[in-house]
Amino acid sequence: MVPDWKIYPRSQGHSTVYLKNVVTNPDIEVGEYTMYDDFVNDPRDFQKNNVLYHYPECNNDKLKIGKFCSIACGAKFIFNAANHALQSLSTYPFPIFFEEWNLPTDTASIAKAWDSHGDINVGNDVWIGYEAVIFSGVTIGDGAIIGTRAVVTKDVPPYTIVGGVPAKPIRKRFDEETVKKLENIRWWN
């Protein structure tokens, strides 16, 4: 059992956790000191409440979150199974109801029910705002900021602030020279 001080970084309350110490799913990798705050649900239930439609046994998809990230309440990570095949005659996911339709039961056949977009990769020192949504296949660069309720469908460059639906760049946090220096320093290591 992990001691409380390794789970809750603040003695004043239990709405914030160090994610690395509460996530047990081997397909979710979290770096040191990354924190998640949830004032609605138990933050220890992050992998159940915030990592959605994640069936790595079908697609081998992973959620990778770097070190020293700050993830606000309600942020969601949406994987492939939330999507339905767009090129099919119907968007209905028949293969996941294999018993009803007498379809193959192997995971490879079931995975064909949706388009595969891949892992979600979050860099280091990333701040993800309240109720932001990150979709599969997205990479968020080091030092980026994802605005409140942004819907991230495309990669976010390092040290870029994005917001909106769909998320679009608002501005860089620093000039290009400073960004290059920060990328070289990699202070989180």
What's the rounded Cα separation, in Å, for the pair 108 and 115?
12
Q: Among 14, 54, 84, 117, which one carries the catalytic annotation?
A: 84
- Is 133 in a helix, a strand, or coil? strand
User: Beta partners for 78?
Assistant: 52, 135
14 is catalytic: no
Q: How far is CA 166 from CA 122, 149, 170, 174, in A?
A: 18, 10, 12, 23
State the Cα–Cα distance between residues 63 and 54, nearest whole angstrom.
Answer: 9
State how far the Cα of 125 lies from the Cα of 79, in Å rounded to an integer: 22
Q: Which positions are annotated as active-site residues?
A: 84
